[in-house]
Amino acid sequence: MKKSSKMFAAAAVGALVLTGGVTAVANAVTPAAPAVSRMNDAAPAPESVVAQNRVTAGASSNAVNAALAKCQSDKLPFVTVALVDRFGTVQALLRGDNAAAHTIEAAKQKAYTAAAFGAPTSELAKRVTGNGPGIDDLPGTLFLAGGVPLKVNGVSVAGIGVGGAPDGMLDEACATAGAEAIAGLAK
């Protein structure tokens, strides 16, 4: 390779490095273009929007920890605790030591059932008759004791459920302790 070709190649590499560096700096300091197009700039009218209350992540964590602590103090370390919003989306979940896999779904479904219907699952279980289709056939629900709704101003915003104790009322006592840990939201 001739000396002039080597110099050209070195200059080209240097230009690429310099251009890449300038581009990286420019990208780092240049604000990104807005993600919303002009067609979507119009805000919906206030009467077209529904406000939603949700339990904070911190309160959710406190509730599931308090529920599990109650179960552990009652010598029930093999439970799972779930807190879900009123649509059934998990906000917090804590699986106790030695909790079987099925307790995860049970806790989530009890929490969702309590949130969706705004009543403890022990009360809802009394409505199940076993005579043909009923509320217990709704997907994602579980009508066994162990779920408690969390309400704000009388409206259900979430539910906490516990699954895994040998009796649903033991599950519900733990769920109630979790609800009480975030005072103002329990029943």
The pLDDT tens digits of the residues spanning 127-145 come to 888 888 888 889 999 999 9
pLDDT at 19: 39
- State how far the Cα of 114 lies from the Cα of 48, in Å rounded to an integer: 28
CB-side neighbour CA atoms (13 Å) of 137:
6
pLDDT at 20: 43
User: Is residue 151 predicted with pLDDT exceeding 60?
Assistant: yes
Domains of the chain: 3-48 (no CATH), 57-181 (3.30.450.150)
Q: pTM for this structure?
A: 0.74
Q: Which whole-number Å values give the CA distances from 119 to 16, 51, 125, 134, in the listed order?
A: 67, 22, 10, 17
* Residue of 76, 46, 60 whose CA lies nearest to 173: 76
Mean pLDDT, residues 42-63 taken together: 89
pLDDT band at 119 (very low <50, low <70, confident <90, very high): very high
Q: Buried b vs exposed e over 28-67: b needs ≥16 C-beta within 10 Å? A: eeeeeeeeeeeeeeeeeeeeeeeeeeebeeebbbbbbebb
